[in-house]
């Protein structure tokens, strides 16, 4: 059976103390009623990483991700954070390829491939995001767009490195818009991604790799999305900033 994964992306939200308060609320809820069988990943800002790790380390099935890392090993890159630095906090995942990084910070396939490689070198597991724009969806070129993103980046990895990834399908038109992909759209794309992985890496890897959905997923729509055969969980932005909402989404997986 594939892993079930729920990842919360806090983005550029929460001051230091607000972040600690949020993680305390999350810990309290999950301690009172553990949600077994679901891997929970919190992706706070860099400033929160070590404190959040300290707070979740005693709870089963919780881990921490950074939202980014630099593509170079180290050096004169003022303001940046390397994969090695992220790893040294105790984080085990890193989000790479988020559409906000691709569009606001011009991160292209070359840079994203470098980020994936340096993350893996530092034993950080990438949560690699892919997804089409609204124009591509409307022009019916969304499958081709996602195939291209895979081919130009993570499909250059060896089988063993590729197996360390979590793929996050995040249609750009659904991120932060309140418009969620229908379960039909999500299942269609997740199934397509899995079949592309099958063609490239074979049946065992394609059947085992977690593919999670992101884009305005919340406590109201998670159940229907997570019921889809090829949807293995969610990457949650806005709704992950409310502890009760995150807890409720964690309880939306089919039993």
Q: Does 217 bind ligand PEP (CB under 6 A)?
A: yes
Tell me which stretch binds ligand PEP (CB under 6 A): 67-75, 187-195, 203-211, 230-238: 230-238
Q: Does 193 bind ligand PEP (CB under 6 A)?
A: no
Tell me, residue by residue from 196 to 215, as one string, x for binding to ligand PEP by CB under 6 A and - for no binding: ------------------xx
Give the shortest CB-220-to-ligand PEP separation in angstroms. Answer: 12
Tell me how many residues contact ligand PEP (CB under 6 A).
Answer: 14
Q: Which of 8, 44, 131, 238 binds ligand PEP (CB under 6 A)?
A: 238
Encoding tokens for residue 167? 């793929």
At which residue do the structure tokens 């892993």 appear?
3
3-state secondary structure 32-76: HCCCCCEEEEEECCHHHHHHHHHHHCCCCCEEEEECCCCCCCCCC
Q: Which of 216, 219, 230, 253 binds ligand PEP (CB under 6 A)?
A: 216
Tell me which stretch binds ligand PEP (CB under 6 A): 65-73, 82-90, 224-232, 234-242: 234-242
Query: Contact at 8 Å (CB) between 149 and 119?
Result: no
* Residue 48, C-beta contacts closer than 8 angstroms, at least 6 positions apart: 10, 14, 16, 19, 20, 23
Of 144-183, binders to ligand PEP (CB under 6 A) are 170, 175-176
Instruction: Look at the alpha carbons of 239, 1, 172, 138 in this order and tell me if their dihedral is positive or negative.
Output: negative
Give the shortest CB-99-to-ligand PEP separation in angstroms. Answer: 8
Residues annotated as catalytic are: 98, 170
Q: Which is nearer to ligand PEP, 111 or 235 (CB)?
A: 235
Residue 20 burial (C-beta neighbours within 10 Å; 0-12, 13-18, 19+): middle
Query: Contact at 8 Å (CB) between 210 and 2?
Result: yes
List residues binding ligand PEP (CB under 6 A).
9, 11, 170, 175-176, 214-217, 235-239
């Amino acid at each position: 059976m594939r892993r079930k994964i729920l990842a919360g992306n806090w983005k550029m939200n929460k001051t230091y103390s607000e972040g600690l308060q949020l993680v305390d609320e999350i810990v309290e809820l999950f301690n009172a009623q553990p949600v077994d069988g679901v891997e929970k990943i919190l992706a706070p800002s860099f400033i929160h990483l070590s404190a959040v790790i300290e707070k979740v380390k005693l709870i089963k099935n919780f881990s921490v991700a950074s939202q980014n890392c630099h593509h170079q090993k180290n050096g004169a890159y003022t303001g940046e954070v390397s994969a090695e630095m992220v790893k040294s906090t105790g984080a085990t995942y890193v989000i790479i390829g988020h559409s906000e990084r691709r569009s606001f910070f011009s991160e292209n396939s070359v840079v994203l491939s470098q980020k994936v490689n340096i993350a893996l070198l530092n034993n950080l597991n990438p949560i690699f995001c892919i997804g089409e724009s609204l124009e591509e969806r409307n022009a019916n070129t969304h499958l081709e767009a996602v195939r291209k993103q895979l081919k130009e980046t993570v499909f250059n990895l060896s089988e063993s490195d590729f197996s360390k990834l979590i793929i996050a399908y995040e249609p750009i038109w659904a991120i932060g818009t309140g418009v969620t992909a229908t379960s039909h759209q999500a299942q269609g794309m997740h199934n397509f991604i899995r079949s592309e992985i099958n063609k490239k890496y074979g049946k065992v890897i394609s059947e085992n790799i977690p593919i999670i959905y992101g884009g305005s997923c919340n406590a109201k729509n998670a159940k229907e999305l997570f019921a889809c055969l090829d949807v293995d969980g969610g990457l949650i932005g806005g709704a992950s900033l409310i502890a009760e909402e995150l807890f409720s989404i964690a309880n939306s997986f089919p039993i």
